Amino acid sequence: MINMPIEVFLIGREKTIYLKKSIARILYSKKIEQSKISEILNLSQPMVSNYCSSNEKISDNIMKIAQEIAEKVIDKQSVNFQTCVTFLDKNVEGNFLIADKNEILTDENSKITDNLKQAFYKLKEIDISGLIPEVKINIAMSKKNAKKSDDVASFLNGLIIIEDKITGYNSIRFGKSKHLSSLLLNLKNKINANAIMNIAYIKDVEKTNTNYVYLAKDYKLKDRLNKVDILLHKGDFGIEPCAYIVGENAVDVVNKLIKIKDKLN
């Protein structure tokens, strides 16, 4: 499921009753049973019956919002009503898109998403056969003072690969790719890295002319190096052996991947 910004309608408190009354009327006119309307709007069935039989005039503005919500309800058969408190002097009304806190594009968030895009375009259409793992391949990049997975951005559902070439991606989101995020957060200060990419296990890692260390079964470092380019995990029961390229940022990681590919070839 793709996580998208939430679409909301904001209206004044005193108008919420009229909004529900309007939605109930519209749904009832669309042949939806009152018991179902009661469930959707979280109202008692007698209250829904009262709303549906009412001839009270309701403003065009409320009716317009009710119509839009009713169309969504008919499509999805569900709706959520929540209370929003504002301390503004001005009454806020209208249709808005609300993003999760970690999705707001601050300067740092923008730099991270831009870097991930640059990394993708550097890698796009390059043949990476032999380096593609069984699981989805992805790149994750963290904020400078990252503390949790919401501080780490990655490609939603991984990168798209066709005929051994990375060809596309769905979107870039924070708080996804839990495995890469967790690994990066646990190791970033120990190996001085802000980005990580998972690839297939490299048997001839010595040929890459890079600094590499092995991870234990629990993904903790076996050895310590001042500078690390590749992390190797030999796998376990049900876990594919794999490698991780780490670097200063996503572009740095991709540059290392290209050099590794050339060395192995």
How many Å from the N-terminal Cα to the C-terminal Cα in the chain? Answer: 38
What local confidence, expressed as pLDDT, does residue 223 receive?
A: 80
pLDDT on residue 74: 82
Res 103: pLDDT: 62
pLDDT score recorded for residue 1? 32
Give the pLDDT confidence score for residue 2 in this predicted structure: 40
Alpha helices in 77-106 (DSSP H): none
The HSE-up count of residue 174 (CA atoms within 13 Å, CB side) is: 24
Q: Give every residue of the chain whose pLDDT is below 70, as ranges.
A: 1-7, 77-79, 81, 97-105
Which pTM was predicted? 0.65
- Residue 130's contacts (CB-CB under 8 Å, 6 or more residues apart) are 200, 261, 264
Residues of the chain with CATH 3.40.225.10: 105-264
Q: Residues 237, 178: contact at Cβ < 8 Å? A: no
Would you tell me which CATH number, out of the four given (3.40.225.10, 3.90.380.10, 3.20.20.70, 3.40.50.1010), belongs to the domain 105-264?
3.40.225.10
Q: What is the pLDDT of residue 102?
A: 62
Q: Which amino acid is at 175?
A: G
Give pLDDT, residue 207.
93
Tell me, what's the pLDDT at 99?
A: 64
- Which parts of the chain fold into alpha helices (H)? 16-29, 34-41, 45-53, 60-76, 107-123, 178-191, 250-264
Cβ atoms of 131 and 265 closer than 8 Å: no
Mode of pairing for the β-strands spanning 230-233 and 172-174? unpaired
CA atoms within 13 A on the CB side of 1: 3
Quick one: pLDDT at residue 250?
A: 97
Of 207, 206, 185, 209, the C-alpha closest to 196 is 185
